[in-house]
Structure 1
Amino acid sequence: MLDTMLDVRALRTNGDLPMVVEPRDAGVPIEAAASALHALVDEYLPTHGGVLFRGFKVDGDAAFREFAASFGHSLLTYEFGSTPRSKVAQGVYTSTEYPPHQHIPLHNEQSYTRDWPMKIWFYSVLTAQEGGETPIADSRRIYARVPQDLRERFASKRLMYVRNFGNGFDVPWTQVFNTEDRAEVEAYCRAHRIACEWKDDGELRTRQLCQAVAQHPVTGDWVWFNQAHLFHISNLEPDVRETLLDVVGEEDLPRNVYYGDGSPIEEDALATIRHVLEAEKISFPWQNGDVLMLDNMLAAHARSPFKGPRKVVVAMAQAHGADR
């Protein structure tokens, strides 16, 4: 049987995230091993949060898409996204298209909303000449490590994310909502409990009240689950921050976040959270053909700066939401 031809181990000697699954004979097509890999995912993903498939043959984006879809959930479109991506195939997207020199901090995909994917896959098509890792971290450990008073404050107050689309500063609303029809945008916002308004210049502003922590629907674990440290203006470089405030003012910043009651989040609180995230970060070099599968609630992910060409594509599935 194929499962007897697979090796399973922890990637690191001092931790169990991610678990690594490798074929004993190199070059086994990943789709041929899918049924055995499903069983291993059922066993390891809820406890470890992430599984790295290494050494399998992945014959391009189509094979990756087929593998991700084989877990039984339709692949999701990237709706209400916060970063620029390009569609590679149905349900498959490029990783965030930020300049190579920029670092993307740890986060759980779409934790700035009330709806998010439970599963996310990354496929390393081409590794960078230098850097370009996708660091990960255990969201349960982050939750436990955030000081209790800060964790309770965030949990009780919740978070309000404010976004101003377009104007050359952020992703245009037509791309974020995959439509040029204002009525479709308004309908989406009503369905997802997002307050929206059209500004005098024709651009869109949204506000949404969201969770800061969440309980996993299957394991029952509590996890740190928000993007306050990413959306807050303190995440910007000081010169960029000053320029934006001079040009558009706080109300029209491309993105910002407040406590749920609209009061400002203390910058020292966000500094503490960033310190925790950095302390929990797990980084490892990609190999061409690697596929990393994460439980999006149990594990956060990031991106390191890189040099040279790099291609990592992403798929997401199994929609879940705070109101479901």
Structure 2
Amino acid sequence: MGIELPLEVVMPNASGWRHDLENMHRIVEENLHRNGGILFRGFDILGEAEFQEFAKSFGFPLLNYEFGSTPRTDLGEGVYTTTEYPAHQVIPLHNEQAYTLNWPMKIWFHCIQPAETEGETPIADSREVYRRIPTRIRERFEEKKLMYVRNYGNGLDLPWEKVFATTDPKQVEAFCRAHQIDFEWKGDGELRTRQICQSVACHPVTQEMVWFNQAHLFHVSNLEAHIRETLLSIVEEEDLPRNVYYGDGSPIEDGILDEIRGVLDECMVKFPWQKGDVLMLDNMLVAHARSRFTGPRKVVVAMAEPNC
């Protein structure tokens, strides 16, 4: 099947995007589950407030970025910056919050300012990724599941106060219990969490199987060799900011993760951002990434419709 680049919808006239909302909603209803992603172009949507209004028009309250794993700025009422990593870094393909048991079903990206060069938000059809992952790997991951281990703070990763949006350890513990997250307060007062999650999933509407995890991203092998060596000279493996194992705690082989990354690269689709673009994705059907870039770039994001 695969994504058709994604489906691109261009404004047919200059009457303004609000006058065409009914048509846009119909297009989403008819095409999102087939294509996985829809690119709205030329609709004169520009800026955080209009983007928020557009995203909310689909009928779901916008979600907070709970239990986040990357630095973002909260722009208010469900709109956030995309991950604030340096421009030279590539962010690999991933489905939003697939490292947990709770994720948004819908995600929107809005390009306010395209980069001077590159800066795309590449995408990939998670159904196609699932089909292309070698059967021996897919069955192994599906049987064992995945255990994500996170250590917060100490200047190495986001502090737990930022991730859980509180300074109260009791609220952190309550959140963890409610979301099946094991937690441990370490001797230095910092927090470690472990959570066993899915590696594949079945889409609740289409009933299609999708590759749905962030093992390739959380695993220590995702770090550049010199960064990995430096980190392991400072902390023990169990204290790395983030890592992932099979659900039984056994290590995931680097070679298997390399094969998975190869499949993701094969399935990647890129398109250049234009100012004002809005990309709407079904977060289970489509993974997204970020290319490196030069010059100023501003892309913001909103999420909605929790999976449970």
Output the TM-score relative to the length of structure 1: 0.93
Q: Contact conserved, 1:111 with 1:225, CA < 8 A, in 2?
A: yes
Distance (Å, rounded) in 2 between the aligned partners of 1:284 and 1:72: 28
**Cα deviation code 1:106-128 (max 9, x no counterpart):** 00000000000000000000000
Quick one: structure 1 residues 249 and 52, their matched pair in 2 at CA, closer, same or farther if it must change by over 3 Å?
A: same
**Cα deviation code 1:69-117 (max 9, x no counterpart):** 1111100000000000001121000000000000000000000000000
**Percentage of matched positions with identical amino acids:** 63
For 1:86, the equivalent position in structure 2 comes to 73
For 1:64, the equivalent position in structure 2 comes to 51
For 1:263, the equivalent position in structure 2 comes to 250
Select which of 135, 138, 141 maps to 1:148: 135
Which secondary structure does the structure 1 equivalent of 2:51 belong to? helix
For 2:298, the equivalent position in structure 1 comes to 311
Select which of 200, 225, 240 maps to 1:213: 200
For 1:104, the equivalent position in structure 2 comes to 91
Distance (Å, rounded) in 1 between the aligned partners of 2:86 and 2:117: 14
Distance (Å, rounded) in 1 between the aligned partners of 2:158 and 2:241: 9
For 1:204, the equivalent position in structure 2 comes to 191
Select which of 4, 10, 30 maps to 1:22: 10
Select which of 269, 289, 294 maps to 1:302: 289
Shift >2 Å, 4+ stretches: 27-32
Q: Counterparts in 2 of 1:222-261, with a 5 A limit?
A: 222-261=209-248
Which secondary structure does the structure 2 equivalent of 1:313 belong to? strand
Q: Contact conserved, 1:17 with 1:138, CA < 8 A, in 2?
A: no
Distance (Å, rounded) in 1 between the aligned partners of 2:200 and 2:37: 20
RMSD of aligned C-alpha atoms? Answer: 1.0
Quick one: structure 1 residues 137 and 28, their matched pair in 2 at CA, closer, same or farther if it must change by over 3 Å?
A: farther
Select which of 11, 23, 26 maps to 1:36: 23
Distance (Å, rounded) in 2 between the aligned partners of 1:313 and 1:28: 25
Gapped regions of structure 1 (runs ≥ 5): 1-13
**Cα deviation code 1:273-299 (max 9, x no counterpart):** 000000000011100000000000000
Gapped regions of structure 2 (runs ≥ 5): none
Q: Which has the higher contact order (CA 8 A, sep 6+)?
A: 2
For 1:177, the equivalent position in structure 2 comes to 164
Deviation at 1:242, TM superposition (A): 0.6
Deviation at 1:163, TM superposition (A): 0.1
* Count of aligned residue pairs for this structure pair: 307
- Matched AA of 2:64: T
Deviation at 1:15, TM superposition (A): 5.5
Output the TM-score relative to the length of structure 2: 0.98
